[in-house]
A = this chain, B = another copy of it.
Amino acid sequence: MIKVFAPATVANLACGFDVLGLALNEPGDIVEVGLNDKGIIEVLNESGVALPLEPENNVTTVAIQAMLDTMKSKQGVSVVFKQKIHLGSGIGSSAASSVAGVYGLNELLGRPFNKTELVTFAMEGEKLASGSAHADNIAPAIFGGVTLVRGYNPLDIVEISYPEDLACVIVFPQIEVKTKDSRSILPKEIPLKEAIKQWGNLAGLVAGLMKGDYKLIGNSLHDGIVEPVRSMLIPGFYDVKETAMKAGALGCSISGAGPSIFSLCQGLEKAAEIAEKLRPIYKNLNIDFELYVSKINNQGTKIIP
């Protein structure tokens, strides 16, 4: 068996709804993957986090099955979850689980598939988890760094370079926000004027990341479309945002479908400082929470000892 680390990821990044994402150094899933001769995909859970283990409800099984189907293979695969990102946290928990299995299996089989192909298999897991086969968490989980899903027909993943000391704070208030719910409250139509603002900011964010221009990154991290709607599902959101921005974050918005909230910052030290200022907010609201401080993960999913 080999041991795989698949990172948590932040999708959307304010102005990049459904297309941008980045990978974190922590938290992440740690999963052991091996071949078996039982001809079935077997998932064991030693992570301490409750996971659906029935094959049809488990994203890892579904993703691995998609890979095996493409190979027309009946290979048996064993997966053991050793460490698991909280489900429903909005930092790509289902993506990490979907990715870990196919990444490990691909390694064991001598890498028959490239990273973009692995994304397509893992997307089947996302489809199970959220009802839509999106890649904005899967892509950064596999590639690492910041990724753009330019489009799906065909799947086109673009790696976006970024300044080396870009760091991220995640605060995860432990309330339940289902991805399906947080999708259904989105407007079907948006004003063209708002869309223009949003794509101006997204273009600015991509340019800012590639230039390493922190001022431009900060000026671009706005979301006038999704954040105003989804933030209503997250108690304390505007407290967190105001506190993070006052403490010097480049920007702060909802991670994926929420409830986690991310702040981007220049340097790990600044990120740690902001995290400490956020700590009292959910304490005062009597909501359990977790805090993560991380540089951007530049490796993506990987084998670990």
Chain A residues packing against B (C-beta within 8 Å) = 15-20, 148-151, 156, 158, 160, 186-192, 195-204, 206-208, 210-211, 216, 219-220, 225
Work out how many copies of this chain go into the complex: 2
Q: Are B216 and A158 in contact (CB under 8 A)?
A: yes
Q: Are A204 and B20 in contact (CB under 8 A)?
A: no
Cβ contacts under 8 Å, A156 to chain B: 204, 216, 219
- Nearest residue (CB) in B for A18 is B196
Picked from B20, B188, B191, B207, the residue with its CB within 8 Å of the CB of A148 is B207
Q: Are A202 and B201 in contact (CB under 8 A)?
A: no
Q: Are B199 and A19 in contact (CB under 8 A)?
A: yes
Given contacts A150-B216, A219-B156, contact A192 B186 (CB under 8 A): yes
Q: Are B192 and A189 in contact (CB under 8 A)?
A: yes
User: What are 13 A-B residue pairs whose CB atoms fall within 8 Å in the complex?
Assistant: A17-B199, A18-B196, A19-B203, A148-B207, A151-B201, A151-B204, A156-B204, A158-B204, A188-B191, A195-B195, A195-B225, A199-B199, A203-B203
In the assembled complex, how far is the CB of residue A83 from the closest CB belonging to chain B, in whole angstroms? 32
- Nearest residue (CB) in B for A215 is B156
Q: Are A16 and B190 in contact (CB under 8 A)?
A: no
Distance A201 CA – B149 CA, assembled complex (angstroms): 9
Cβ contacts under 8 Å, A219 to chain B: 150-151, 156
Q: Which residue of A188, A195, A198, A203 has the most chain B CB atoms within 10 A of its CB atom?
A: A203
Q: Are A16 and B203 in contact (CB under 8 A)?
A: yes
Distance A190 CA – B194 CA, assembled complex (angstroms): 10
In the assembled complex, how far is the CB of residue A130 from the closest CB belonging to chain B, in whole angstroms? 15
Q: Are B199 and A188 in contact (CB under 8 A)?
A: no
Q: Give the 10 A-B residue pairs with the shortest CB-CB distance, closest first.
A: A150-B204, A199-B199, A189-B189, A19-B200, A195-B195, A18-B196, A206-B206, A203-B206, A150-B200, A199-B202
Q: Are A192 and B191 in contact (CB under 8 A)?
A: no
Cβ contacts under 8 Å, A187 to chain B: 192
Q: Are B160 and A200 in contact (CB under 8 A)?
A: no
Q: Are A19 and B196 in contact (CB under 8 A)?
A: yes
